[in-house]
Structure 1
């Protein structure tokens, strides 16, 4: 990471404990650069809990974190919605519609703006 580039996510002395008193992690300090990042570890070590905290779904017990830009994660368990297309799930539906329109001869500037 260059000196002028800020980390996308920075964890500072982050801890999380479940309401029943079970600790997940304590005093976690780390930085992650922008871009896709994968967390690897054994089941039950707190990977998903950490991602849920950074995504704003859970609050840490102590410590804190900062993030630059948006942070999201792909959950382990997805609810299948059979009415949603793959293009919609990936967020490219409008681009595909514009591309198909251009390919069929429609040269409207609106389609090019979408792409």
Structure 2
């Protein structure tokens, strides 16, 4: 498998009104052409990524996974990182406003070697 280039990309940012708990839930869509083995989300102030939110599962190319937050979660801004089955990874340092985002679609451009995230 072709090795992914490490990329730090800016995520689409949206303004939001005051959020209520649970508003951070979103769907993650994999359109990279490769299997994603691990997914991490963390607030910008976190010192670590924490646990893989995929658990024992994987996100096959073309698949969608609903990411559900605990009701007590109030932070809206979250960073995202993924690890592919070949061990390569991508991290978005610019946080997504998950209180306004419903779907994040991950794509890989083979000609540029860049993995991008489209937030809607």
- State TM-score, norm by structure 1: 0.28
Give the number of the structure whose residues are more often strand, by fraction: 2
- State the TM-score, normalized to the length of structure 2: 0.27
Relative CO higher for 1 or 2, CA cutoff 8 Å, sep ≥ 6? 2
- Point out the structure with the larger helix share: 1
